Amino acid sequence: MISYKIQTKDHLSLHVQQWNETEKAKGTLCIIHGLGEHQNRYTHVAKFYANNGFQVFSYDQRGHGKSEGKRGHTPGLHYNLDDLERVLKSLPNHNLFLYGHSFGGNVLINFLLRKKPNFIRGAVISSAWLRLVKKPKYLEFGIAKLMHKIMPSFTQNNKLSSVDLSNDRQVRLEYDNDPLTHNQISLRLFLDFYLAGKWALKNADKLSVKTLMLHGADDLLVCKSGTEQFAHKNTKYVEYTIFEDTKHEPHNDTKQADVFEYTLAWLEKIISTEASHSNIK
């Protein structure tokens, strides 16, 4: 494994990892983690794709893991999008795929919709934060908007419980005892990405990158209807699957093997389809 740093536009240092060195790789995969966690929770995900011929990269988002920044805070949506863009500039762009989970899925969808990158071959989006199961009450939302204007970097407990992540007890124990996970979320991060999720749903038809969306049927954090609605509004570019007996983290639950094989088959299908089109030309 090779680690290196990327500097953000506001001079923070992001921790990036290259998981393997693969000659004649099928493609490159970059993993974008979720809220309160970090890239090393995807070690098994990275190893799976590395063992199947992909060159794999990941990074800790600002305010997470070994990257700099106040825990659980961002100055705004566009900072996270710019962070991702800077990371991608450091990667090989041959058959480049992105894999975003939850909060990372929100970042990824908004990156694809707003930046419109023409060098991305495809995207896998897991349990995307588009619509929360527990919507903020009107009064709470109003207070949050008011406080956001006064103190946007104020953080509070994100109220995530490991019980809601997976049916696998070992996964929950490791999450609870992981020194790099945290339970913080700032007013700015919440409001920006809550609204960005709603915006993405309204603009789903504008996505023009081949995308596979995954969601657990028993997700009690992020509503699977967000994934379903997004996919239904863009059947040209988006496919989706709901995994039964699965909570918020499909890659960490009891159907993990099915999730891995399904996503691998989709990635290889995209690569082979593009290759056949190139040969025809």
Residue 143 confidence (pLDDT): 60
What is the rounded CA–CA span in Å between residue 1 and residue 21?
Answer: 8
Predicted confidence pLDDT, tens digits, the chain (281 residues): 899 999 999 999 999 999 998 878 999 999 999 999 999 999 999 999 999 999 999 999 999 999 999 999 999 999 999 999 999 999 998 899 999 999 999 999 999 999 999 999 999 999 999 999 987 665 555 666 666 666 778 788 888 999 999 999 999 999 999 999 999 999 899 999 999 999 999 999 999 999 999 999 999 999 999 999 999 999 999 999 999 999 999 999 999 999 999 999 999 999 998 665 554 44
pLDDT at 142: 63
Write down the pTM of the prediction.
0.94
Task: Give the pLDDT score at 148.
Answer: 64
Specify the pLDDT at position 280.
46
The CA distance from 180 to 281, in Å, is: 49
- The domain limits of the chain are 2-280
2-280: what CATH class?
A: alpha beta
Distance CA 187, CA 133 (A): 19
